[in-house]
Amino acid sequence: MSTLDWVVLFGTLALIATYGVYKTYGSKSLDSYLRGKNSMNWWSIGLSIMATQASAITFLSTPGQAYEDGMRFIQFYFGLPLAMIIISVVFIPIYYKLKVYTAYEFLENRFDLKTRTLAALLFILQRGLAAGITIYAPAIILSTLLGWNLTFTNILIGSVVILYTVSGGTEAVSITQKQQMAVMMGGMILAGIIVIQLLPISFQEAMHVAGKMDKLNMINLEFDISDRYNVWSGMTAAVFLFLSYFGTDQSQVQRYLSGQTLSQSRMGLIMNGFLKIPMQFIILFIGVMVFVFYQFFLPPVVFNKVQTDKLRESEYAGEFEGLEAEYAENFKLSRSSYLEMLDAIEQEDKGKENEIREKISVLKSEQQEIRAEVKELIVTNDPVAETRDTDYVFMRFVMDNLPKGVIGLLFAVIFSAAMSSTASELNALGSTTTVDLYKRSIKKGATDKHYLTSSKLFTAFWGLGAILFATYASLFENLIQAVNLLGSLFYGTILGIFLVAFFMKWVKGHAVFIAALFSQALVLFVHFNNGDVMDGNLWDIGFLWYNPIGCLSVMLFAGLLQLVIPSKGTSQS
């Protein structure tokens, strides 16, 4: 990176963090700290909701996923507008009517204290883990770039977020997220334009290449319960995930509870529902264009440069260089084959086109075999080395091919996303710990100032916990899938509790509490026995289906239990 890149990167981050502290320093009450004085208009709420969900993982993993797997991940979001409408109609009015600080306060009003506490603990568990991943995602890039220790990098990133989140609370998070969203989308759109300009073929030809290589596979109508991303999982299983995430996850609920009015909060949520899909489309499409770029310009054998540099300096350097040369020769044949295929498409010669596609498919298989051999060498040289490189694809492209200044801006995109998402999570974790656990069950009747201080301390505590967990986040295969998996393990149960509260008025607290425990155990049992049946697992289902399994089982168990146990708890709504 050039001096200009460093100035752009750290200048952007410093300005955003400083602005957040300056505008919100010195919250005087718990209400203003947790609800941001109810000062947010609808578009601020919408941007804040989008920024909370659009973590650094979105900008690191999503282009890499499109590079490997095409556009089919976008089907995951097809049910989002429906979920936003349901939440606007059912969830938000109740939260506003009760004037709650957290979503889980409603559960005590409807059921009892233990049900409220259980839901809060499930949220804290999964969101505390996910916060660690959102810190880890940009840390792997910066530590790779500078050769820094990963733990030190995690601490650096986490500390910046903790600084302004603890200082200004909800208002600081929402204010900074507007600037962060501008940086994120501005930087990504600029990167997309530059990628297309760098292509040695026309845009139409690039679309032909992407289409023929199945990278524009946005719609898959085939029902397959083991497939994570198709229309059916997006319109069913993913809807349960979105209902739970946006309707019961405090990191999102806290965003729209800061709205000026009920209508402003609803409009902000609907804005997110209809802009998220185009935003995700842009990010995925950039990944596809990077794929097309690397069909005409030699890509790295492995995108993680740190690992290949280590291999180059090891006793296996000669073998590695031989594999690189073999990879380069294969690439030349592949590139010429693409040009031949484009000629066949222009001449409308279907027979020749299909023949060349088969040839390219064989060459691609050979490339994957060479990559696998290189990864084996990496592990042989360093048994604990990380060989999965999907999350490195986009930023490696940025560093190798984009002009000075733009590289720094793209790194600022990654860090802005990490800051925005992590800040929301820490803010929500601090709020939930204070309001639902500490204030309600541990230290009752203290002063407002005491709880304000407690909320800040709990926010800092969870920030430190996220930094600690970030050290172990590399255990996951793909960062964006890791976050969705963590959510899917717990969100279904939480959503089930809320849906029982909203729609099953005859069910009382004791029944839903036991049902939630059974359902969470069921989801974990399904997960730990899930995978390839040929490997001895009981079944093979996509993890998005954990959400409806958890949700519907809570509703079923609660209804059955209420028939056989004495009524306990209240039933007010």
For each successive 10 residues of the chain (573 residues), what is the average pLDDT? 86 83 70 74 85 77 88 88 92 88 89 93 86 78 72 83 81 79 87 93 92 85 72 82 88 84 91 90 93 94 87 90 93 93 89 90 93 91 81 87 89 82 86 91 87 90 86 56 73 93 91 95 89 69 86 95 70 42
- The pLDDT of residue 479 is 56
φ, ψ of residue 218 in degrees (nearest 5): -80, -20
Residue 402, SS3 per DSSP: coil
- The pLDDT of residue 207 is 93
How far is 527 from 539, CA to CA, in rounded Å? Answer: 9
Locate tokens 């299909």: which residue? 354
Read off the pTM: 0.83
Q: Give the DSSP letter of residue 530.
A: B
- Residue 175, both tokens: 């204010």
Q: Give the DSSP letter of residue 72.
A: G
CA atoms within 13 A of residue 401's CA, in its CB half-sphere: 22
- Residue 371, both tokens: 């990559």
- Residue 63, both tokens: 């282009």
Q: What are the distances in angstroms from CA 13 to CA 6, 78, 394, 470?
A: 11, 33, 21, 20
- Residue 370, both tokens: 């060479």
How far is 441 from 471, CA to CA, in rounded Å? Answer: 32
Residue 446, SS3 per DSSP: coil
Q: What are the distances in angstroms from CA 303 to CA 98, 322, 330?
A: 51, 18, 17
Terminal CA-CA length for the chain: 57
- The pLDDT of residue 482 is 65
- Residue 242, both tokens: 């979105």
Residue 399, SS3 per DSSP: helix
How far is 395 from 368, CA to CA, in rounded Å? Answer: 21
537: region left, alpha or beta (phi > 0 left; psi from -120 to 50 alpha): beta
**Nearest Cα residue to 58 out of 399, 287, 258, 272:** 287
Kind and range of the H or E element at 172? helix 150-198
- Residue 2, both tokens: 């050039």
The residues spanned by each domain of the chain are 3-295+398-442+450-474, 305-387
Q: According to CATH, what is the number of the domain 3-295+398-442+450-474?
A: 1.20.1730.10
- Residue 236, both tokens: 């069913």
φ, ψ of residue 548 in degrees (nearest 5): -65, -30
Per-residue pLDDT of 471-523, as tens digits, reads 765 545 455 556 667 778 888 999 999 999 999 999 999 999 999 999 999 99
- The pLDDT of residue 339 is 92
Residue 40, SS3 per DSSP: strand
- The pLDDT of residue 554 is 96
Q: Which residues contact 157 (CB under 8 A, 6 or more apart)?
A: 135, 138, 139, 142, 415, 418, 419, 422
CA atoms within 13 A of residue 86's CA, in its CB half-sphere: 20
Q: Give the DSSP letter of residue 539.
A: B
